[in-house]
Every structure is written in structure tokens, then in C-alpha cells.
Amino acid sequence: MDQHIPVWIDGHLQPMDKLAVHQRGLRHPAVSVFVVAGDRLLIQRRALGKYHTPGLWANTCCTHPLWNEDPATCANRRLDEELGLTGLALAHRGVVEYRAEVGNGMIEHEVVDLFLARCDSRPDVRENPDEVMDHRWITASDLHREIEQRPAAFTPWLRIYLHEHGAQVLPGF
């Protein structure tokens, strides 16, 4: 893997190979997006080719910003790249930090800009099979119940967001 992402080293952002960042558990910026239509959240199942947490259910989308890319631009870019979603009005919901083991000896230590898009109706989703193997719309109660019953089917960050930051990320959900 030869993709570089920003990482904090000695208090300054520097580019580093993404895989190395996760192998070393280094603190780095990220974005996470939640798209809600009515009473349902759009979640995705990560493609099996992903190098960590393949096949697990996650929030609508998440990624790392490119060098000098602002978080909102990154969030919009990734919605399009992963799910073919464009033109959504994203509301910034704050910044959270978490650290979690994600399997295969890797650690996510992210400082995450959170975004929420509320839609009147469900937008058409076009999955990128390199990134997403499935998606679905789910109510809050069903999502919480499924996570309680099968936590290993969901990414650590989705469980953290809902458990520790639910009111901030998804007010009223």
C-alpha cells in the first residue's frame, strides 16, 4: 500500500504511509459521515478487500483526508467515491478522538471530524465494490439491538461513536 495520509509527529502534521500509521497506532486526522433519511441511518458493510475490518458494518462512510484537504471536502469526496452520493448538505457535528484495535495488529488512533446529512428521502446509493460490499438503512433501536447482540459484526469506531458520542453525532436518533 503506497498511500500517504497526514499524521502528527512531534506536534506537526507529516505525510506517512497509511498502513504504517495503523501498524504503529499513530494519531492522525479522519472524517466520519452519517446520512439519515427520516428515522433511518445509512450504514455500509466494508468490502472484503479492505486491509482492516473487512466485512464489518460501519457508519455511512469514513476516511482520512488527503494532504492539505479540509475535512468537509474530504467527507464529500468520500461519499461520492464509496457510495456515489453527491450534493448532500453536511453539518459539522464536532471533533472526537478515539483509539481502538482494528485487527491484524493494527490500531486506529483518530481525531475525527464528524458530519451529519439529514435527507427528506433516501438518496440513490451506488456502491463502489472496492470499498463497500453492502449497505442498508436501519433505525436507531434496531442498530443498538444488533450491536448488543453481535458486536463483532460492527466496526469498533461505529460502536464507540454510538456509545460515547451518540447525542453529538446523531441528535434525536
Q: What 3-state DSSP class applies to 162?
A: helix
Q: How many CA atoms lie within 13 A of 76 on its CB side?
A: 11
- Name the active-site residue from 61, 82, 108, 110: 110
What kind and span of H or E run contains 23? helix 18-24
Are the C-beta atoms of 28 and 7 separated by less than 8 Å? yes
Residue 82 known to be catalytic: no
- Name the active-site residue from 61, 62, 74, 108: 62
Residue 61 known to be catalytic: no
What is the rounded CA–CA span in Å between residue 147 and residue 127? 23
Are the C-beta atoms of 105 and 9 separated by less than 8 Å? no
Find the helix packing angle between 156-169 and 140-149, rounded to 10°.
150
Q: Residue 81 carries which side chain, given as an amino acid letter?
A: E
Catalytic residues: 62, 110
